[in-house]
Structures are given as C-alpha cells and as structure tokens.
Chains A and B, each alone.
Chain A
Amino acid sequence: MAIVDMTAREMASAVRNRELSATEVVEAHLSEISAHDREVAAFLLVLADEARHRARSIDEAIARGEEVGPLAGVPIAVKDNMTLRGVETTCASRILAGWRPPYTATVVQRVESAGAIVIGKTNLDEFAMGSSTENSGFFPTRNPIDLSRVPGGSSGGSAAAVAARFTPLALGSDTGGSIRQPASLCGVVGAKPTYGLVSRYGLIAFASSLDQIGPFARSVEDAAALLSVIASKDPMDSTSLGVGFDAAGIGEGVQGMRIGVVEEMLDGVSSGVASVLDSAIAALEAAGAAVERVSVPAARYGLSAYYLIAPAEASSNLARFDGVRYGLRVEGEDITETYLRTRERGFGAEVKRRIMLGTYALSAGYYDALYGKAQQVRTLIARDFAAAYEHFDALISPTSPTVAFRFGERSDPLSMYMSDVCTIPSNLAGHPGMSVPFGPAENGMPAGVQVLAPALREGVMFRVAMALEAAALEAAVPEWAKAAGSGGAA
C-alpha cells in the first residue's frame, strides 16, 4: 500500500516501529502535493522545509529510543485561520496577507506535542464565511473527486487536502457546518466537537459563540485519535470545558441503540442524498439499532437565527482589522478614511455582507427584534434537541442536502446559505456533530451522513459513525489516485 493511502494510525505505528521513517512519510505527502496541488489548490502555504526538519528530529528521537507522541511522524494540515508562530496566517483574506503571528494556537501546540507534523496551511472561505471556498481572497480550492466542483466550505482546503491524500489529517473549524459540509462534499470524515471541548485560543474568530475546531480524516478512528489529542482544558480559553475525549469504546457497535432521523433536515434533499440516507438507516438497523423519525421543531429556524447571531459576532470580531496595527493599511487623509479604505480593499464581498448584516442586527432599536430574538431561538433549539435526546441516543440526517456543486452555480447568497441547513442547529445548541462518508450519491460524488449527539457525548457519536463506516461503500478517490492505487496493487 502506498504511504499516502495509509491511515494516520497506521503511519504513526509504522514510524514508531521503525518500519517507515517520518522523513519518508513527509516526503511521500510532499511529492503528492507537488504533483497535484496545482489543480486542487488546497494549500495557501506548504511548509515543506519546516516539515522535513520536524520529520528529521522525530526520526532522531526515535533512533535515540525516546518516547514519541501518539501522532509522531503523521502529517497534518491546518486551516489558515489558526496561528502558528512566525508563519503567515491570513484567514484567506487580503487584509491579513503577510501577517506573521507571534504566538501559536493551543490546538497546533497540542498536535505538535503529539508528534504530528504541520505540512501546510489550507485554504478557506475568507474568515471562514462561506460553503464552497470560492470566497477565498486568493483562489478557490477544487474538489479532488471532480475538479469542476467545489470542495465545500469554509474548511474546503482541509477537506480537499485529506481527500486528495496530501495529508491523512487536517484541522478545520466549524461555525455552522464548515467542517462537516466540506467533509461530506469531499468524501472524508469531519467532526465538530461539543462547544468548549477544544480550545479556541489562536483560532481567528468568526463567530465566537459558535466556532469550534475539529478533525478531518479519512477514517473515523483517525478522526477520533486526532480529537483525543486536541480535546483538553485550556486556561487561555474561558469557554474551555475542562474535559478531554477518550476514544476507547468507539468500536463497540450500535446494537440496542436508539437513533432518530431528524424530520426537519429532510426538506429539499436531493434524491441521491436521500437514498444515501436510506441505505445508512438500513445499515444501522442491520447493525442492531432501532431507527425512527423524530421532530426537532425549532431546528427549522436555525438558519434564520444563525444569520443574525454569526454576523453580529463577526461584525465585532472583525472590527480590529482596521489598518492600525497589522495587516493591510491603505492610507487615507485621516484615520476614518484610513479605516474605510483599508476595509474596503481588504475584505471580500461576503465578509462585507456579513459585517453589514451583523452591524444592523446589533443596532439600537433593532437589537431586541433581531439579535435578541435569535438568541431566544437558540434556547428553543437546545430545548428541542434535549427533548429528542430523552428518547434517542443519537440523531442522524444528511450532512448537506446535495452533493458538491459546480463553481459559480450558487451565486445567490441565500442558496449558498442553504448548504448548511442541517449542520447549523448543532452549532447553535453547542452539541457535537460529524459527517461520515456514505456515498456516492449523484454523479459519483460522495455524500455524508451526519451523526448528532448530546453535549459531550462524542463517544456515542463516534460509535454510530464507526457502524456507518463499516457499512459504507468504498470511498471516492481522485482520478490520479485510482491509477496510482491499481499501480500499487500490481
């Protein structure tokens, strides 16, 4: 088997047992990146030299017989909205081009302490605002399964990098589905943990009360392994819950579990995605779970509430990009004009749209009717989920109503926003959710099944995900990998 087809856990074990060197692992992935990232454009920055250097020091440590971390020698890609000291971090925005943060995000520190090797910073919709990575301020990322289609977003670069076998692991952030939707569209596993399970320190905020960092991988176990590394108490993040995640027991199956199918998340779903969900239900029943439909009524209002709360927080979070201290500065006659020109030129259209929406939602005279009401909806959604979880251990739905769409196909913002209708409610409730590939649906494109669980019940979520993965068809792979895969087998 080619190195790049191995799982992260296989790579880590091969490196630890000296069957492979970290250097070989890194070189295999770097050569894949240099061969194919010109088409995919998953990375904003490839850290080839740094990765080689890290790989060498891990190999030396192993040669000296030192203990290495659980992810030693495993490459990982980091969405470019997380800081790495001294390495350009842009959020795919021209306003931050060239900014080198003086500190490293807690999650990045954790994966590095576990021995993982950061291989590059991945593309995203500018400031994580979007569902296709078309809103990147630099260039769009393509879906490795079909280069004429989007990879989803906003963590499109991370999802595409994992699907393209540029890396077995990646970190993304999910504010309304930004890990799960691109995972579904690219045919990989992506999980959004409970709000507060993973530190946000060093994650450049889009909407602070909704943002959560999570793993991408090609297998459920790899995603769980990465989550167990990044989930922890962080004194630098006041919203950190102070618990970890233990992946033990996720393979115990779903025998006897009660699983609900969320009715409100079935509207407007394409026939291909609907049939994927039907086979997933059949697979779970075959594995011994009792599957029933369930209503979570307030979930219907998730999208509306989200598009008030998230832009409101974003309008405040993004105020600091003003040209005074770092990033782009376009000088004006006075300070006000400098603010205006810098932000006019530095931000893209979608970011400006959301800043305006959010500013409006918080304005005197509108606050109660807009932001205040949206917060009430949020409470209702959490309440309705809690009611559902009285009868069900976990819930499932499609991750996204459709498979990956073509570039430019959703130029109307509202139709783009609909991509996240199934994923948004769990951000509003603060609950975990993940996408497991169960495709293909239409046109040979992958589609994911979303698994939802109550707060801090990631263990249950991963058990359901493991059962789905066991029953799923062969994962979709890029064209070039099919050729390489047959070559490798011969």
Chain B
Amino acid sequence: MSLEDKYLITVGLEVHCELRTSTKLFCGCANVFGSPPNTNICPVCLGLPGALPVLNRRAVEYAIAIGLALNCDIRRSVFARKNYFYPDMPKDFQISQYDEPICVEGYLELPVAGKRVGIVRAHIEEDTGKTTHVGSSGRIQGADFSLVDYNRSGIPLVEIVSAPDMESAEEAREYVSELRSILVATGATDGKMEEGSMRVDANVSVRRKGTEELGTRCEIKNLNSLRSLGRAIQYEARRQMEIVEEGGRVRQQTRHWNEDQGVTSSLRSKEEANDYRYFPEPDLVPLEPSSEMVELVRAELPVLPPARRAALSDLAGGKPNRSELEQIGTCIGLDLDGFVSSAAEAGLPFKLALSRAANELAALVGAGEALSPEAFVGVLKAEDSGRLSATQAKAVMARLAETGGTVEEAITALGFVGLTDDEVGSLVDRVTAEHPNEWGRYMAGENQLAGFFIGAAMKASGGKVNGRVFSALLAGKRESARS
C-alpha cells in the first residue's frame, strides 16, 4: 500500500489577485505592469511622513463584484493595519482588512471534481513593493545589497481565502483555474499568473485515513503557476506523510517552493511568526457599501462561468462526461463558449464543435490569434458535410486565423477545393486502369485495396480528392462491373 493510499490530503488556498483599476488603492498613481522602477510613486504610496490614504472607489466595486461572483455576503468592513518591518513595505505596515472583511461566506463549484469549496472571506488590501536581493543567496539574509521598486506598492489586491475543502493537488488546480476564469469574467483582474496578478499560497496538511482531526498545516507561499501549485502540494503532502509515517510530528511552518529543485523549504516556524498587532486603520473610515452600490455592481456583472457551463452542458444533453467537462472548462476559460453554442445553433454536432473549440481554436487563441464565430461555424459545416477532412478543417482554421478572409477563400488558397463527382469518377477510372493487377484483386473482394487506390488518387490529384467521395465511387464502379 503506497503512502498516498494511507493518507488524506487537505488543502486550503489563499489567492491574491491584483485588481485592474487604472490607479492604485489609496492614491492616484498609475496601476500598470512593467514601468521602469520607482516611476509610479507619490508621497502616499511611498508612505512619506504626513501622507494619508484615500480609498479608490473602483477597487471597492471590483471587490464587491468578486464577492457576488463567489456567492458571498457583502458586509460593512473595516480597514486594519498589519504591522511588520520589511523594506519593500514603505510604512512598515500594510493596510488590509482583518476581522471585518468586505466579503464573507461564499462558495465556488468545482465542476470536474463535482464538489463545492467554501469561500471563507475575500478582503481588500494594498500590495507591497518588490525587493530584488543581489548576492549569492537570493534572499534578504546574506544578500550583498537589495533593490526596492515601489511601483507595486499600493496596487489594489483582493485576497480570497477558501475553506480547507480540497483533497488533492488536482482539486486545488481546478479551484484556482475555475476561480481565475470567474475573476477574469467579472473584469476585476486580468488573471495573469505569470505577471503576478494572481498569486497563490497553499495550506497543506495530511492525516491518516479513518481519522477525523486535521493534521498540522504548512503554508507554501507564492505559487505562481498551476503547475507549481500542483507540484508543490504533491511534494509537501508527501513530505508530511513521510514525517508522520516515521512517527514524527509536522511542525507548523511557512514554506518556500523552489521551482528548480522541486522542493519546499522552511521560511519560518510558527514560533518565529510575526505578531502583526492588527488594529483598525485610523486614517480611513469604515467601508459601508450601500445596497444601491451593491445592486449596481450586481446588475453590471456579465454571465459568469458557472452559468455559461450550465448552458453548454444543456447543449451536451444535460450530463457531460469528464473529458467534455474539461473541454467546456477550457472553452469558458478562453471565452470560446460562444463559438460552441453558435455551432450548435447552426445544427452542427455538439461534440465536434466542443472538440474543435477546446483543442484547435484554444491553441490558436493561446498563440494570440483569433477567428470569428461565423468562420468557425463555416469550417465545421464543411467538415461535417464531408467536404473537408478533419486534417483539412484544422488547416483551414489555422489559415483563417492567420490571414482572415472567408472560409471559401481559405479552402481555395489551400487547394482543398473538392473535385466534382464527374472528376472523381474519371479519377477512379484512371487509377484502376493504371493498376489492373490491384483492380483485379479488389474486384475479387480484397476490400483493403480501396486504401491503395485512395492513396494513388491523392497523389494523382495533388491531395484534392475527397477520400469519402472517391471510396463511394470506387465501390460503385465495382458494383456496376460485377452486374
């Protein structure tokens, strides 16, 4: 019995997402990624003596949108100071929300895992600056010197805290992926994990199967991709299982994920943890969103992924299987569900539309290319009618994404214009005449030789012949020759 079979894993996630406001949370500095260091700064986000924060209304609206999208209650909330010393934090405290967050008690459905994960809270806070430690260690201890960029200081974040409801790395990945597509749909964030607009901390614990009490947890900081998240949880769970298996005790720690080595290592233990000395931020007044404001945000919310998934599932005939669910997820994540429903409305088979959207179209979109829903439907029609083979259909889609134009133009340009039935008929006559020996064997019942003739016809026509049409006419020729 492997360790993984003897233990249960429990995962809770804290996801920080950057809000797509045009200015920072408490000042008018631009909220943009990639500016030269220390250019988007002012007395407020530098925490200069005497400067005061003023709350960005748009950030509050985005936070409310996130809360509503995650089925949370929107509450009166209070900003608090989280006090600790770090050079990238200009005030040496972070303005966050502590015991009175703006969003509480929501949930998120994991469609593939088929479970509901609780959302404990979502709150607004400011980001810190970014420190680059120069020196061998790459950490603050042992660095020769450190450089601080305060452009990120004061950028609005929403931190979303899940309940410890996930039981595998796979579920954790699905949670983040689903959360990401919901957040992107609300417009609150761009969800770019590679630019740090979404950062994940994972709380992981293990316990022996059959026991109720959760094990001691460790928190892994700053997981910046789905891949890192999955690997880090697997590694960490295995590490904890081995400790418990050998009779040891897991110590509560904050751990760092090393992507290159594929291991987690301790940053600090519970005993070394900061006492943040939270208290209400006296420079800000309590945040009490009016019900009008909440309703206005609700009214402006687009149709969100869960509802869109339900719509696609209906097209699938109610109960999609696991791989269809994954394909639906991909389509929604990339905003491609409209393509699938357009195709279905045009009478095309759902499975074909879903597969082409989740695979070929998704790959094109991933490469930064686009296709109109009309073009997508046009290609699928040609494929469904037998005019284009699957390989040809994929090539046509790629061509359309690259150069635009109509489906017909692309088919012509690629030389996929089908031959007329007469032309195919003469091709049948020609290749059978050229290969009398094979024709005789085919006539005698060696059906597999149809493939040989298709190959010959493809060669002769430069790939323009439609295999299905050719096969039908070839069979017809044998019928009439026999009769």
Binding site for B on A (CB under 8 A): 81-83, 89, 91, 96, 99, 101-103, 105, 200-205, 207-209, 235-239, 312-313, 315-316, 319-322, 324-326, 334-336, 339, 359, 362-364, 367, 371
A326 touches B282 (CB 8 A): no
B140, CB-defined interface residue at 8 Å: yes
Q: Are A320 and B50 in contact (CB under 8 A)?
A: no
**Is there contact, CB below 8 Å, between A362 and B50?**
no
Secondary structure type dominating chain A contacts: loop
| B320 close to chain A: CB less than 8 A | no
Shortest Cβ distance from residue B146 to the other chain A in the assembled complex, whole angstroms: 8
Q: B91 near A335 (CB under 8 angstroms)?
A: no
What are 12 sample pairs from A and B whose C-beta atoms fall under 8 A apart? A81-B50, A203-B50, A204-B49, A208-B283, A238-B54, A239-B284, A316-B279, A319-B92, A320-B92, A336-B85, A363-B277, A371-B279
Residues of the B chain whose Cβ atoms lie less than 8 Å from the Cβ of A315: 83, 277
B window 136-160: CB within 8 A of A: 140-141, 146, 148
Shortest beta-carbon distance from A360 to chain B in Å? 10
List A contacts of B277 (CB < 8 A): 315-316, 359, 362-364, 367
Count B-side interface residues using an 8 Å CB cutoff. 31
List the A side residues contacting B93 at CB < 8 Å. Answer: 316, 319
Q: Given A209-B282, A312-B279, A322 and B85 touching (CB < 8 A)?
A: yes
B289 sits at the interface (CB 8 A): no
Known: A322-B92, A364-B275. A96 touches B48 (CB 8 A): no
**Given A208-B283, A322-B87, A367-B277, 18 more pairs with CB closer than 8 A:** A83-B49, A99-B49, A105-B50, A205-B50, A235-B54, A236-B52, A313-B279, A315-B83, A316-B83, A316-B277, A316-B279, A319-B91, A319-B93, A320-B90, A322-B85, A324-B87, A335-B87, A363-B275
Tell me the nearest residue of chain A to B141, going by C-beta: A334
User: In the complex, which residue of chain A has the Cβ closest to the Cβ of B86?
Assistant: A335
Cβ–Cβ contact B279 & A325, under 8 A: no
Kindly state the separation between the CA atoms of A325 and B147 in the bound complex, as whole angstroms: 11
How many A-B pairs have beta carbons closer than 8 Å: the answer is 100
CA separation between A97 and B291, bound complex, in Å? 49
**B 73-99 to A, binary, CB cutoff 8 A, 1 in contact else 0:** 000000001010101001111000000
Q: Tell me, in angstroms, the Cα distance from A134 to B111 when the chains sit together.
A: 69
With contacts A103-B51, A201-B52, A209-B282 taken as known, whether A319 is within 8 angstroms of B140 at the C-beta atoms is no
For residue B53, CB closer than 8 A to chain A, the reply is yes
Q: Give B265-281 interface residues, CB cut-off 8 Å to A.
A: 275, 277-279
Which listed residue, B46, B47, B146, B279, touches A362 by the CB 8 Å rule? B279
Q: B113 on the interface (CB 8 Å rule)?
A: no
Interface string of B14-57 (1 = CB under 8 A from A): 00000000000000000000000000000100111111111100
For B140, list chain A residues within 8 Å (CB): 334-335
CB of A123, distance to nearest CB on chain B (Å) = 17
Q: Which residue of B lies closest to A90 (CB)?
A: B49
| Interchain nearest-CB distance for A92 vs B (Å) | 13
**CB < 8 Å: which of B50, B148, B285 contacts A202?**
B50
Complex formed: what's the CA distance from A339 to B85 in Å? Answer: 9
Q: Cβ of B283 and Cβ of A238 under 8 Å apart?
A: yes
